[in-house]
Amino acid sequence: MAGVEQRAIALKADSESAGTYVESFIRGFLGDPFGKAGEIMSASDQLQRDFQTASQQIRETYNHVQDIAVAKGAKLPKKGRGWNGTTSDIRADAV
């Protein structure tokens, strides 16, 4: 997840940089008005997919740790504050 967050920060910085504005202007002048915007949207879409993958991996790890804890005798509450801050069944896959 940290890698996804770092790439999100880098994408934001790149998309808001003066160089990006200049590149967009030049590309627009040369007949490619939405080229840079398309690249940024594509990178943003990939970042969203990476975030969803990382979130899924976190949920799977959380559930695996719970399964091990229960197998070792831990008693988990039926209701409580879930891994993502919501009040629901304690299992992450039930959220």
Helices assigned H by DSSP within the chain? 2-15, 18-29, 35-71
User: Does pLDDT of 95 surpass 50?
Assistant: no
pLDDT of 55? 92
User: Does pLDDT of 26 surpass 70?
Assistant: yes
Which pLDDT tens digit goes with each residue over 42-77? 899 999 999 999 999 999 999 999 899 989 988 877
Largest CA distance in the chain: 68
pLDDT confidence bin for 78, thresholds 50/70/90: confident
pLDDT of 85? 59
Q: Which two tokens stand for residue 68?
A: 């091990």
pLDDT of 61? 93
Domains of the chain, by residue range, sit at 2-94
Choice between 94 and 15, residue whose per-residue pLDDT is larger: 15
Pairwise CA distance, residues 95 & 92, whole Å? 5
Give the whole-number percent of the chain exceeding pLDDT 70. 82
Choice between 43 and 92, residue whose per-residue pLDDT is larger: 43
Q: Which two tokens stand for residue 25?
A: 């202007």
